[in-house]
Amino acid sequence: MDASASAHWSKSTRIVAYRDAREAARNIEETGCSKAGLEIMMGKGLPLAIRVDGVPLRSAILIKQEAISAGGDAAYSADVAALRCDSTDIVLLTSACSLPILVRKLERQPFGLKKLAASITSVAAGSVPPRNFVARGRSLPLGDRTYIMGILNATPDSFSDGGLYFSENDAIAHAEKMIAEGADMIDIGGESTRPGSEPVPAEEERRRVLGIVKHLVVNSDALVSVDTMKPEVAEACLEAGAHIINDVSGLSAGPRIAELCASAEAALVVMHMRGMPGDMMRYTEYDDTVRDVIKELAERMELAVAAGVPEESLVADPGFGFSKTARQNVELLARLREVSNMGYALLVGLSRKSTIGRITGVEDAKARVPGSLAAMTVAIMNGADMVRVHDVAESVQAAKMADALRCQAAKLGF
């Protein structure tokens, strides 16, 4: 197996399992399979569909042959048979009986297909290899439980709690309360990023958060995260000992924040957003919301890696509510497993957001706790490693239940 082929399957390929016939059919159509081919594929009644993106032509032909010989099938672009393409997306159709046979066959093949076989086995089981999240020498194992990131808005104008913790003493007291309730991390923000919000000067944002960072680094065991898009704020907070920088702009201003995190051996959250908070809702047109988010987020993650941030110190955040409509947020949540398959630690922030209000009819953001917990549970079941929440005590309890269910589902192969 050559190194380039192995790298392709490990980094460039998005692999997603579907157990719903409508989702399988939609994905088969998206490969460019002919209508007649779609009818044949769906008529086979195979219960598990596994999508593999960006498969080189020579590998695609070989995979289809092996899938058929194992008792399954594979759908790909009609251009493959005419050799009119260099690569294609594939939807493998298989079953509990045929999947192990296919995996064994692929393990014996060239072109890095042994690596693909391992990935298929993992995603079909709904699991990922053991991995850790690392921030300034602190290592957290991922997969066994969900980590709770408490939200601390040291702002006068955040959407649900603006002004409540604007004084440094109030902010520190609230952070300590969240830690006592079970928060593993505290995410401190000095600038509101609600839709339509205006930017805050760097000096003012730094003034709002720096004292809180210094206090928590010295006086708590929680990981301290700073929610900022400004390199000068990030630099000051990293010098004060912050463990994580949470850049909601997704490095839109360039790699400087990533370079600062790499130098400090700190972790970096890269969130997906188009535009800036003031105008982000102008940019909600997507060909396929989930696939476009993954593609755009992956480009930013690669920028962070190039700046020196190790993959185990990177966190992907799909950006619920940022340049996305309520309908798009729901689709993203339902298909979150596709984002988790990117291979990075996954952070999800749904707490009290307007989408929950739209669905439940609850206008008061502070009254959206039940809806937030329901959305958070779905996120955990679909692969979230960390959740960013306002209501820590309630979220800790719900996350423990979701983790128990997720671990049991993985053991049973669901």
Residues with a known catalytic role: 353, 388
Phi first, then psi, for residue 96 (nearest 5°) are -60, -30
Burial 93-103 (b: 16+ CB within 10 A, else e): bbbeebbebbb
CA-based R_g, the chain, Å: 22
DSSP string, 124-189: HTT----EEEEETTEEEEESSSPEEEEEEE-SS--TTTTTTT-SHHHHHHHHHHHHHHT-SEEEEE
- Cα–Cα distance, 359 to 27 (Å, whole number): 27
What is the total residue count of the chain?
414
* Residues sharing a CB contact under 8 Å with residue 195, sequence separation 6 or more, in sequence order: 277, 280, 281, 321
Residue 10: is it exposed, middle or buried by C-beta count within 10 angstroms (0-12/13-18/19+)?
A: middle
Residue pair 244/135 in contact by the 8 Å Cβ criterion: yes
3-state secondary structure of 89: strand
Residue 84: CB atoms within 10 Å: 10
3-state secondary structure of 325: coil
Burial 50-82 (b: 16+ CB within 10 A, else e): bbbbebbbebbbbbbebbeebbbbbbbbbebee
Q: Up-side HSE of residue 62: CA atoms within 13 Å toward CB?
A: 19
Q: Up-side HSE of residue 1: CA atoms within 13 Å toward CB?
A: 18
Q: Which two tokens stand for residue 409?
A: 């589902």
What ranges in 280-360 are assigned the alpha helix state H? 289-306, 326-334, 336-340, 354-360
Burial 387-400 (b: 16+ CB within 10 A, else e): bbbbbbebbbebbe
